[in-house]
Each structure stands twice: as C-alpha cells, then as structure tokens.
Amino acid sequence: QFDQQHLANTARSLAVPCAEDGLLMGAAVAQCTSITSGFAVQGIANLAWTLVKSLHRSDSVLSAVAGPELEQLLYARWEPQNLSNTVWAVASVRFLNMPLSDAISAAAIANIHEFDSQARTNTVWSFAKLLIDDRPLMHAMSAEALRKLPQLNPQALSNTAWSCATLGFYSQLLMDAIS
C-alpha cells in the first residue's frame, strides 16, 4: 500500500514518460482521489504538477485537492515553489477553485519575501490566466518585484507586465521600472 508521499512521487516520476498510458495514469489518479485528504502541501503540489505534465486532467483529483481538507492547508507551511507550482498547474488546466486560490493567495502574501522571481512570476501569471483579480496579491507581488527588480529576467518582466495588463492592474512604479 502506497502512502501519500510515495504515490505522489511515483505519479510525478511517471508523468512525462507515461503520459500516453491513460490506463496507468487513470489508476494513479483514482488512487490519489481516494487518499488526497492525507496529503501534505508538497504532495498536493506534486499531484497538481503531475496532472498537467501527464496531460491527464482529473477534476476529481483537483476537486479533492481543493476539497474539505483545504482548511487544514491554510495553516500549513507552504514553500513558495509549492505555491507557485500548484497555482500554475491549476491555471494550466483552467481549473478555477476560489477557496484554493484564496488559500494560495493568503499563503503567498504571508511569505512574499521568500519568493524568487520565477515563483513570483508564475504565481501572478497563474492568477491572470484564471482571470482572478486578487488586488492584495497583485499589490504584494508588484511591491516585491520592485524590490527585486535586478533579479528579473526579460521573460519574468514580460510575464509580469502581461499579468498586470490582463487583470487591469496598474502600478505606475512597476510599469516605469519594467519599461
């Protein structure tokens, strides 16, 4: 019997090479759905990433990830990479779940200074992709982007500008710095 971490790691390892094997990925997804309640933050991030990389969209797993256990995740310690990977994965398959998005936003704002440029850029891109206009998150992310502007590469700058434009978020200081 696989525990949560073993299952998440195995599914992640198989995601790309076995993407075409619908039966194998379907079995992994079914098992994940039955035990998602015990997953830690890392396992949730791994599962969300796995579903995207395997091209196997499973609303049942995504719903289980964002289900009743979500309240427990609000108090968990989310690493910036786990946050950005999770929100990137759900945005990539356009799975909109406001309680999950709210939890990710709150955790991101609380840990904003720990985000590297890729995690920050992926997070704002993901919210824009889902058309979630979360002003507190955008204000926090843009302020942090300004503080760490020298670390931003051209793609991070363009993705940040695109995200702001898509959401109708305008920060004169950020746009001046980007341009």
What is the pLDDT, as a whole number, of residue 178? Answer: 79
What confidence score (pLDDT) does residue 76 get?
59
The amino acid occupying position 97 is N
pLDDT digits (tens, 9 = 90+) for 10-33: 655 655 555 555 555 556 655 555
| pLDDT tens, position by position, 119-137 | 999 999 999 999 999 999 9
Chain mean pLDDT for the chain: 75
Query: Are 99 and 132 in contact, with CB atoms under 8 Å apart?
Result: no
- Better-predicted residue by pLDDT, 135 or 92: 135
| One-letter identity of residue 101 | S
Torsion of CA 28, 75, 136, 101, to 10 degrees: 20
Instruction: Please report which helix (H) or strand (E) contains residue 57, including its range.
Output: none
Q: Taking CA 91 as the corner, what is the angle to CA 84 and CA 153, rounded to the nearest 5 degrees?
A: 50
Residue 165 has pLDDT above 80, yes or no: yes
Query: Residue 87: pLDDT band by 50, 70, 90 thresholds?
Result: confident
In the numeric block, the tokens 């964002």 are attached to: 66
Q: Is 168 exposed, middle or buried (0-12, 13-18, 19+ CB in 10 A)?
A: exposed
